[in-house]
Amino acid sequence: MTAPASHVDPFDLVIFGGTGDLAVRKLLPALYHRYADGQIQPGSRLIGVARDALSDADYHVRVRDAVIKSLGSDLPEETLHGFLHLISYHALDARKDAGWDAFAAAMHASPERVCVFYLATSPEIFVPICERLREHGLNHGRARVVVEKPIGRDLKSATAINDALGRCFAEQQTFRIDHYLGKETVQNLVALRFGNALFEPLWNAEHIDHVQITVAETIGVEWRAGFYDGAGALRDMVQNHLLQLLCLVAMEPPASLAPDAIRDEKLKVLRALKPIDESNASQCSVRGQYRAGASNGGAVPGYLEEIGRPESRTETFVALKAELRNWRWAGVPFYLRTGKRLPERVSEIVITFRAIPHSIFGESAGQISPNKLVLRLQPDEGVKLWLMNKYPGPGGLRLRRVALDMSFAEAFGVRNPDAYERLLMDVVRGNPTLFMRRDEVEAAWAWADPILAAWEAGQDAPKGYTAGTWGPSAAVALIERDGRTWHEDAT
């Protein structure tokens, strides 16, 4: 079971790229869950759009297969049939006129409804699609457009895309999605900080030694090779996912949960980031590229062999030491790390508190380690608080660090909805809190661009690391020369 779902009136949702990987793996299973939980009402319309020449029946077969592959074969047949009944298909090419008049006529049939256009496509056709929607009058006041990251590949291109989107849809109609912001643990970070008296008084440089944010994947580039080789880990992950997590950790308490109250505070964090450029990139950044090794129990090729481009200098791993120039966080480093072909699939935020100022325990008690607050985003969402405790027994006072461990699934006895489930329904409700505002996107690029420029100017190839390891040795040196080490779950 899941938590009770809030009511949503019937709506229309159009997925451009409706046969693509994002739609098949994430969006359609998420929509099925929302329907099965009663949040998507009968009469709503879910419309797949792509260039493939498919009938509604053909598309239903694809959707059915996608949902069963993602969620299992034991789904209630009546529920699955009802879900498929909401779905139709239109064949369209974003850059051609054919089919658009018929599509627009179908969409205008319910002008009173909220209509969501989800662009699950490659970024280069975001603008052509939006321009077609405007030309056919589909950008009316109850319409919303959802665009996936990355928005651009640098500040200049992001600004151009945002300008073009702004000519078609108002800012309040534009939802720039980062699915990490829909994860339960990210939501819970706000509740943890601002719903309890315990942590917020300690949430500053006086009590926190450093913060680590890790997003690790065991997979390689797989089907994304064409896109990924033109982007790399910094554009694909750091500029959006990791910086958004950093913002939620570091932001000041907002005045309320109003969407712009939270986004205003995140923007302040982005603007407070200390620049990383040619003057300090070699000390504050590491980029790597995986070589042949082992992953998930089998041998895997290196990145260059996988993509078939031996000259590629694209990074598949990034480690950064970021700092904020403000009173709350002055002197507290934020270590960011992400990469492909790493040993574990894990996303987590680790808050390491300062060591106690004086120990009253003798050497026989053992080492006293700093407290850590660990927020695990995946694969098992939850929170751990590492504390020093006495080891049980009469053999003297011996200390050991143990974790107070809360799994969301176990604590609440409900299924944690996928991030896309929450975010899709937030778009329908018109709630932009968990989406990036234009100025956030551009502030993030303004910080990332000098790092990319420094790497380009340096002409150094990414440092190699064996697939199945935690990245190049330089990433270990990045944190250990500060007297710290990367977090492992048992430490």
Q: What is the pLDDT of residues 69-96, one digit of tens each?
A: 988 888 899 999 999 999 999 999 888 8
State residue 414's pLDDT score. Answer: 62
Q: What is the pLDDT of residues 446-486, one digit of tens each?
A: 999 999 999 999 878 899 999 999 999 999 999 999 999 99
Q: Which residue in 57, 66, 50, 45 sits closest to 16, CA to CA?
A: 50
Cross-strand bridge partners of residue 335: 212, 321
Q: Spot the catalytic one: 33, 60, 210, 241.
A: 241
Is residue 409 over pLDDT 90? no
When pLDDT is averaged across residues 204-228 and rounded to a whole number, the result is 90
Q: What is the pLDDT of residues 132-174, one digit of tens each?
A: 999 999 998 899 999 988 888 999 999 999 999 999 999 999 9
When pLDDT is averaged across residues 257-278 and rounded to a whole number, the result is 95
When pLDDT is averaged across residues 36-63 and rounded to a whole number, the result is 93
State residue 227's pLDDT score. Answer: 81
Q: Where are the beta strands (DSSP E) in 416-487?
A: 463-466
When pLDDT is averaged across residues 21-43 and rounded to a whole number, the result is 93
Mean pLDDT of the chain: 91
State residue 413's pLDDT score. Answer: 62
State residue 463's pLDDT score. Answer: 96
Q: How long a stretch of residues is the chain?
A: 491
Instruction: Look up 241 and say whether it is catalytic.
Output: yes
Where b means 16+ CB within 10 Å and e means fewer, 430-442 reads eebebbbbbbbbb
Is residue 1 over pLDDT 50? no
Please provide the DSSP assignment of 273-336 as one string: BPP-STTTHHHHEEEEEEESEEETTEEE--HHHHHT-TT----SEEEEEE-B-STTTTT--EEE
State residue 398's pLDDT score. Answer: 81
Confidence band, pLDDT 50/70/90 cuts, at residue 186: confident
**Inter-CA distances, 266 with 171, 238, 248, 251, 437, Å:** 17, 15, 7, 6, 10
State residue 210's pLDDT score. Answer: 98
Is residue 388 over pLDDT 90? no
Q: What is the pLDDT of residues 347-364, one digit of tens each?
A: 999 999 999 998 888 887
